Amino acid sequence: MNQSVMAGVLACMMLGQQAPQTVSPQSSAPEAIPDAPRPQALPIGPIAPGKGTTLESNGETAPRSDQSAPGSTLPSAVAPTEAVHEDDGAAPDLPAAGEGVKAFTLVVGVNFVEVPFTVKDKKGVLVPGLTWRDVRVFENGLRQKMELFTTDPFPLSVALVIDQSMPFDEMTKVNNALGALQGAFSAYDEVAVFTYNNGPQQQTDFTGGQSARLNAVLDRSKSVGREPLMPLGGPMSQTTNINNQNFDPNTAPVRNHQGIELNAPREVHTLNDAIFAAAQATTKAGPGRRRIVYVIGDGKEYGSTAKYKDVVHYLQANKVAVYATLVDDFKIPGTGFIDRIHLPFQMRDNILPLYAGATGGQIDPEARTPGIARSFAKIAEEVRTQYTIGYYTREPFIDGKYRKLEVKVLRPNLTVISKDGYYPTAGDARPRTIQAQ
């Protein structure tokens, strides 16, 4: 009996699974239709131009964030790259634009050497754009490590020296050109004026480069010059000559002189004394200023108390450079070699190239008034566009020995103009006071 009951139960279960479901006549709601499958989200994240996605797609690794996309256009020119040399060494301090003067003012260490220099090409045009990697500086043949490199202009302390011993025609050219001199200076410059004939004379101490006082002093410094000495001798030099002999001493140009040839008196041109006096005035200039002695004259020297070697020693020890506008019809470019030759007991026809070469200055020969006026602005531009490097010397400053300097530029066909050397002084070795800017 139990077997029959179990068989019935199984039969009912099988029939219940196969029976269709019936809808209740009381339910009127329609059957719900399921939604279609939604599209899956693409495997991408935030996209930045040139960096690709931040996720992996199709098994490929996404670009790194430090990669950059290539440009869409061809470059117009190859981007300049700074040359790197193995022997460049550590980079010096590179002040921002306008900070070069402050960098020098704040130097506190001792034995610091400042070297300004100018670079020109074959045509005498100033060369800009050099970097510290292009420059090498040597002291006594040993390369020095640059601690500072700047191209910022420095304010000028200029001692102007005007030669009043020139002939009257050359002096007239200078007088006509002096009106353009003040335009070469800025409001930050200071100028002192010296003149010399038989000796130097200071016309004014340092005053503003754009001050009315400087203009008045330049007008007062104009002179008529000297009458040129004519060769003496010949039959017309004396009035009563017989057989080339003067028989009446009372009619001779020089009383009681019997000979027909006369010894002309030597002209006195105290250029050494004038440069020395002007250089002494520039030592009053504070730190962070260029010390310049600017000569306007013909370069002749005779009769000075100061010797050339002593004046050069003073200039190199006190960081003073000599620039000059050379005024003479015969002083044309190319005559510098002849000017370096000096015969004993004779007047030097032109000593200015020696001063400029020893101190890192320059000369500009001009023969006419417009050229003289243009030379003022030309020389001022060359002083302002100098490069300046600084280093700490390994030599003791207290020995007072001369140190030979040489500045080289690692570019062909360029001329470097800098001072030949310097003498250390006790003032350079003492600590400097820091000044708040």
Residue 9 pLDDT: 58
Beta bridge partners, 320, equal 291
> Could you report the per-residue pLDDT of 233-288, keeping only the tens digit for each?
444 444 566 666 666 666 655 555 555 445 556 778 999 999 999 999 999 888 78
Lowest mean pLDDT, pick from 232-241, 352-361, 381-390: 232-241
Please state, in angstroms and rounded to a whole number, the distance separating the CA atoms of residues 156 and 184. Answer: 11
Q: How many CB atoms lie within 10 A of CB 434?
A: 10
Per-residue confidence band for 435, with pLDDT thresholds at 50, 70 and 90: very low
In a domain, residue 132? The reply is yes
In a domain, residue 94? The reply is yes
Per-residue confidence band for 64, with pLDDT thresholds at 50, 70 and 90: very low
Last residue of a domain, one of 350, 367, 384: 384
Question: Which residue in the block uniquely carries the two structure tokens 């010390």?
Answer: 291
In a domain, residue 92? The reply is yes
Does 320 share its domain with 183? yes
Closest CA to 213 of 198, 222, 203: 203
Closest CA to 322 of 286, 348, 347, 350: 350
Question: Structural domain of residue 410, as residue ranges?
Answer: 88-152+387-437
Closest CA to 227 of 310, 146, 142, 165: 165
Please state, in angstroms and rounded to a whole number, the distance separating the CA atoms of residues 124 and 362. Answer: 12
Does 131 share its domain with 185? no
**Mean pLDDT score, 104-123:** 76
Q: In 70-189, which ranges are E strands?
A: 112-120, 135-139, 142-143, 146-150, 156-163
Sign (positive or negative) of CA dihedral 159, 200, 276, 331: positive
Radius of gyration of the chain (CA): 43
Residue 284 pLDDT: 87
Residue 81 pLDDT: 45
Comparing 168 with 287, which gets the higher pLDDT? Answer: 168
Comparing 203 with 14, which gets the higher pLDDT? Answer: 203
DSSP 179: G
Does 380 share its domain with 400? no
In a domain, residue 242? The reply is no
In a domain, residue 98? The reply is yes
> Based on the structure, what is the number of domains in the chain?
2
Query: Is 50 exceeded by the pLDDT of residue 54?
Result: no
Does 282 share its domain with 411? no
Query: Is 90 exceeded by the pLDDT of residue 55?
Result: no
Does 171 share its domain with 307? yes
Does 143 share its domain with 181? no
Average pLDDT of the chain to the nearest whole number: 76
In a domain, residue 234? The reply is no
Comparing 385 with 429, which gets the higher pLDDT? Answer: 385
Residue 247 pLDDT: 62
Does 178 share its domain with 326? yes
Comparing 392 with 49, which gets the higher pLDDT? Answer: 392
Query: Is 50 exceeded by the pLDDT of residue 25?
Result: no
> Could you report the per-residue pLDDT of 322-340, keeping only the tens digit for each?
999 999 754 444 444 444 4
pTM for the whole structure: 0.68
Residue 232 pLDDT: 47
Lowest mean pLDDT, pick from 40-44, 56-60, 308-312, 429-433: 56-60
* Range picked from 39-53, 200-214, 386-400 for highest mean pLDDT: 200-214
CA separation, residue 359 to residues 56, 91, 317 (Å): 70, 27, 10
**Mean pLDDT score, 93-98:** 66
Does 202 share its domain with 113? no
CB under 8 A, 24+ apart: contacts of 333-341: 333/365, 339/299
Residue 93 pLDDT: 65
> Could you report the per-residue pLDDT of 2-13, keeping only the tens digit for each?
566 566 656 656
Half-sphere exposure of 36 (CA within 13 A, CB side): 1
Please state, in angstroms and rounded to a whole number, the distance separating the CA atoms of residues 21 and 220. Answer: 130
Residue 59 pLDDT: 46
Lowest mean pLDDT, pick from 91-95, 199-203, 272-276, 296-300: 91-95
Does 314 share its domain with 326? yes
Structure tokens at 259: 């000979």
Last residue of a domain, one of 384, 400, 421: 384
Is residue 118 classed as helix, strand or coil in its secondary structure?
Answer: strand
In a domain, residue 404? The reply is yes
Does 279 share its domain with 399? no
Residue 91 pLDDT: 73
Per the document, the length of the chain is: 437
**Which CATH number characterizes residue 175's domain?**
3.40.50.410
Query: Is 70 exceeded by the pLDDT of residue 432?
Result: no
Q: What percent of the chain has pLDDT over 90?
A: 47
Does 297 share its domain with 378? yes
Please state, in angstroms and rounded to a whole number, the distance separating the CA atoms of residues 374 and 376. Answer: 5
Last residue of a domain, one of 344, 369, 384: 384
Closest CA to 232 of 257, 254, 261, 259: 261
Lowest mean pLDDT, pick from 42-51, 190-199, 382-391: 42-51
- Contact status, residue 240 vs residue 317, Cβ threshold 8 Å: no
Does 312 share its domain with 209? yes
In a domain, residue 39? The reply is no
Residue 431 pLDDT: 53
- Contact status, residue 414 vs residue 125, Cβ threshold 8 Å: no
